[in-house]
Structure 1
């Protein structure tokens, strides 16, 4: 059913990772220069200009609920325990390539970040013509799109308490889509109209968790508890409308993450409560895939594939995790291995590079 735009409310031990990356990526990143970390997490700061030898395909974006920050990490750095460096006793001691938290940003004081920025639940990279954007949200209700180069906010809002936003997506016209699990909806906010624009179109989707804009099909794919819906976004940037154009039933319930699959097969990665599946968007069928035996596991919170190397990383809680829904480990597949970021409480992690949502 189409919807009209309405005004919104006010506001163990691991396999060495560095060696594996050298086998799949040409050139390692240079070592990070030491600088003090913020006492209560990470103060927002701009990303340094890229060094000549940097390889962006080795950068990882992570939601860390321990520091309540989004971290941009060097996958080849010595702060990973398996790299043999044991100097960091906790995640607050490391210096990421870049980090973001709204708590220290006075420009967001109107959104009550002390309440709304609780349990960061999404972090993904998008690369519009205006420069790279971090898309992020937290279960407490805050949703934001942040310019990576200077940490300024492109757009932000706070969803009503209890909505539990779980994913964010950028649309070609500059608008922002949000999936809220407890709220049971997908909204497209008119972010193109201003940094606090609160007009939105809404589509009801129980337990909405994942979002992905597919330029090939021209649809906004949204993942709910039992179905994946391809939403047509019609109308104008200032007055969008959402209509279900395609629906794919999930083989099991508990839809959670949605991301682009790369390679000749293409399609979408779909994680559920018990599996990681690969969908052929063209056929609407779930198909077998390479390294399925290692990647396919229950309760995967995020899956991301590197468009340069094809390497997949996944995040899922397990025995010994710091909380029931988070972990301090990131798993890599093709080549495989596992890394621990000691002291972290990771909910999701994704490659930070174009076309790797």
Structure 2
């Protein structure tokens, strides 16, 4: 493929903001690959299913902290160990990659330039698992072993470390809801909503809702894009849809009940409603990873040989 075509494709996928009512024909898929320590942006689901190349991954863009010169001070050789989250967010017309790693790194990257907008090392003992960018430029991070939600004053500079902390045992997921102005976070046995106060330079967090999960083992928290304001929630053995207005969890049933267990990430594609999940396949050296992307409604799988995937996200949209 000519270089100009590659650049054009990357700009299309990474640079152009999506409008709230956009219904693209097929969104790209971002995966976190712990084997190569990279975030990989892949083709759309339709292209992934059709692609049969045995050795070459259908990658259109990639990023790794190991290759980011402006992160050298945070020692990515250690802090970027086992990357575990990758999200796309748009703020003020620019698209950002949000990523965390169990080694301690939390980072916001401008996808157009590759430059780091903000980053910190929270320490590997905390095991950060997810991250969110807020409209004011601050950044929320959750850590499972640390058992906390932190709101960093990232708007104040690329290495700002001032933060507010809220304790949440087993914190795994975090999501900003622009409709209610609440920050939602998922722990081992609770889903909570936090109100942000203070100032961007000195933020505060206050609990306004705390809801026990239908079962323990909360892992992924993601928006239901087909029903704004609702959330996908994965637990140890099940998948759920949570409706904050009704304060109700409804079980999600897939064609194969085995696909509902131990899901590390879940999300629906706008327009098609197709679900994308990743769950450990227990066939490789990484007991919590997989080399398979699983699609539902309609069903389909795509093996990405040589990868150790932890999460996969539809790549598009803002909040």
The aligned counterpart of 2:218 is 255
Greater share of strand:
2
The aligned counterpart of 2:123 is 160
Indicate the larger mover: 339-348 or 316-325: 316-325
Q: What displacement does 1:231 show? A: 0.6
> How many equivalent pairs are there?
307
Taking the aligned partners of 2:117 and 2:217, their CA distance within structure 1 comes to 32
The aligned counterpart of 1:116 is 79
One of 228, 237, 261 as aligned partner of 2:191: 228
1:64 matched to 2:33: yes
Q: What displacement does 1:287 show? A: 2.1
1:59-208 matched pairs, under 5 angstroms: 59-75=28-44, 80=48, 83=50, 85-88=52-55, 93-94=56-57, 96-208=59-171
Indicate the larger mover: 129-138 or 320-329: 320-329
The aligned counterpart of 2:231 is 268
One of 283, 305, 311 as aligned partner of 2:268: 305
Taking the aligned partners of 2:63 and 2:45, their CA distance within structure 1 comes to 21
Q: Structure 2: which 5+ runs fail to align? A: 17-23
Say if 2:57 and 2:304, in contact at 8 Å, map to a contact too: no
The aligned counterpart of 1:280 is 243
Q: What displacement does 1:59 show? A: 0.3
Q: 1:229 to 1:264 in 2, by over 3 A?
A: closer
1:242 matched to 2:205: yes
Taking the aligned partners of 1:155 and 1:100, their CA distance within structure 2 comes to 15
Q: Which 4+ stretches in 1 moved above 3 angstroms?
A: 45-48, 291-296
Q: What displacement does 1:129 show? A: 1.5
Q: What displacement does 1:322 show? A: 4.4
Say if 1:46 and 1:98, in contact at 8 Å, map to a contact too: no
Q: Deviations over 1:291-322 (max 9, x none)?
A: 54457611000001112321110000124244
Q: Let me know the Cα RMSD of the aligned residues.
A: 2.4
Bigger Rg over Cα? 1
One of 180, 199, 210 as aligned partner of 1:217: 180
The aligned counterpart of 2:20 is none
Say if 2:26 and 2:44, in contact at 8 Å, map to a contact too: no
Taking the aligned partners of 2:87 and 2:98, their CA distance within structure 1 comes to 5
Q: 1:216 to 1:104 in 2, by over 3 A?
A: same
Q: Secondary structure at the match of 2:94?
A: coil
Q: Secondary structure at the match of 2:260?
A: coil
Indicate the larger mover: 98-107 or 258-267: 258-267
Higher relative contact order (CA 8 A, sep 6+): 1
Taking the aligned partners of 1:265 and 1:56, their CA distance within structure 2 comes to 19
Say if 2:130 and 2:172, in contact at 8 Å, map to a contact too: yes
Say if 1:141 and 1:161, in contact at 8 Å, map to a contact too: yes
Scaled by the length of structure 2, the TM-score of the pair is: 0.89
Q: What displacement does 1:127 show? A: 1.1
Q: 1:253 to 1:107 in 2, by over 3 A?
A: same
